[in-house]
Amino acid sequence: MTTRNFALAFSPDALMGKSRAYIVRALAAKSRGSLGEYQLWASLALELLGKSALAGIHPCLIADPQSSESLFAAAGMTVGTDLKTITAKTVFERLTHISTRFDKKTQVYCQNMSLKRNAELHSGEAPFEAATLSSWEGRYWHTAEIILETKKLTIETWLGADQAKAPKELLAEYTHAIVEAAKVRIETAREAFSQLSKKARDAAFSKADALRPWEFSRSFHLLADSIWETKCPACGSRAFLAGVKYAEEVSEDLDDEHSDEETVDVFFAAEEFQCPSCGLHLDSRDEIEAAGLDIEHTEIETRQREYEPDYGND
């Protein structure tokens, strides 16, 4: 019997929905202090997230190649009900082909997590109980962010923190996830840049030093009110922040009330960071602050003074 609907086992939406349910269970376990259970549910959520990303390209990418019933179902035809998907190891191998950010280090991290998960479920071992949060959580959120990026989604939408009625605990976890992912992204950029030859690093620094802020404006997603210089937290290069204006006030220290001009302090808040040397990109205030960068920026402008019109003197 032929059908146009793919079996739920291979549906990108169904896999994403289940992944979301599991990450919510994971965070609930974390809030109870059950850190072993937290990592168990998180590992299951990550594998399902990876399968959803692959199935979004084509469901056949997650069908067990040894199962003809599964291959037919993934192609849209039902010939049986014994449906099987690929192993976690294969999922993480295939993800390296759809994102350049899903590198070997990330792949090995995911495979190690799935091996611990299997040991947790199928043996007397309890590998998750001995793991500290600092040993896995930051790279977990970084990895989830990479996979979500292939689906044009964010950690915020995955956790449901973008919903108006999202609980405060979930919003707090979202902020924590963003910060941890940003820290690992900085570390990854630092490692990649350090592996370049000295000649290549020096050339990148020289190119960055020659750039003017406005020349780099097209590299930002944000339609910024101002772009200013900063130092890259990953490679130390000259880099740039883009931000929006949020306030301004006449500078009392520099203002001459007898002049036709006035000096104004204009205040900006950074919302995006780009490094032209190592390619590090941070696209939120939370990420920028996690990098240890100051989001506040002030510029001084000199303007023609505006006078209030006189009333009642005619």
The yes-or-no verdict on residue 148 having pLDDT over 90 is yes
Residue with tokens 């939120």: 284
Report helix, strand or coil for 84: coil
Mean pLDDT across the chain, nearest whole number? 88
Q: Is the pTM here over 0.95, yes or no? A: no
pLDDT tens-digit series, residues 35-69: 999 999 999 999 999 999 999 999 999 999 999 98
Instruction: For 299, list phi and psi in degrees, rounded to 5.
Output: -125, 150
Query: Residue 236: pLDDT above 50?
Result: yes
- Predicted confidence at residue 1, as pLDDT, reads 40
Distance CA 177, CA 194 (A): 26
Q: Looking at residue 91, what is its pLDDT?
A: 97
Closest by CA to 46, choosing from 136, 135, 127, 134, is 136
- Pairing of the two strands 296-304 and 261-274: antiparallel
Identify which of 131, 113, 126 has the alpha carbon closest to the alpha carbon of residue 49: 113
pLDDT at 171: 75
Q: Going by C-beta distance under 8 Å and a sequence separation of 6 or more, which residues neighbour residue 136?
A: 39, 109, 113
Region 273-289 average pLDDT? 93
Q: Which residues on neighbouring strands pair with residue 99, listed in sequence order?
A: none
Measure the CA–CA gap between 178 and 185, rounded to whole angstroms. Answer: 10
Q: Provide the token pair at 276.
A: 């032209």
172-229 confidence digits (pLDDT tens): 888 889 899 999 999 999 999 999 999 999 999 999 999 998 888 888 988 999 999 9
Split at pLDDT 50, 70, 90, the class of 281 is very high
pLDDT band at 4 (very low <50, low <70, confident <90, very high): very low
If you average pLDDT over residues 294-305, what whole number do you get?
86
Asked whether residue 3 carries a pLDDT value surpassing 50, the answer given is no
Task: Please determine, for residue 161, whether its predicted confidence score (pLDDT) is greater than 70.
Answer: yes
Is the four-CA dihedral 141, 147, 150, 156 of positive or negative sign?
Answer: negative
Question: Quick one: residue 268, left, alpha or beta (phi over 0 = left, psi -120 to 50 = alpha)?
Answer: beta
pLDDT mean over 274-278 = 97
Amino acid at 191: E
- pLDDT exceeds cutoff 60 at 18: yes
Confidence at 165, pLDDT banded by 50, 70, 90: low
pLDDT bucket at 9, cuts 50 / 70 / 90: confident
pLDDT band at 126 (very low <50, low <70, confident <90, very high): confident
Given a cut of 60, whether residue 5 has pLDDT beyond it is no
Length of the chain: 314
pLDDT tens-place string over residues 61-101? 999 999 998 899 888 888 888 889 999 999 999 999 999 88
Reported as a single tens digit per residue, the pLDDT across 21-43 is 999 999 999 999 999 999 999 99
Span 119-132, average pLDDT: 88
How many whole angstroms separate alpha carbon 114 and alpha carbon 141? 15
Statement: residue 2 has pLDDT above 50: no
Q: Give the confidence band of 160 by pLDDT, cuts at 50, 70, 90.
A: confident
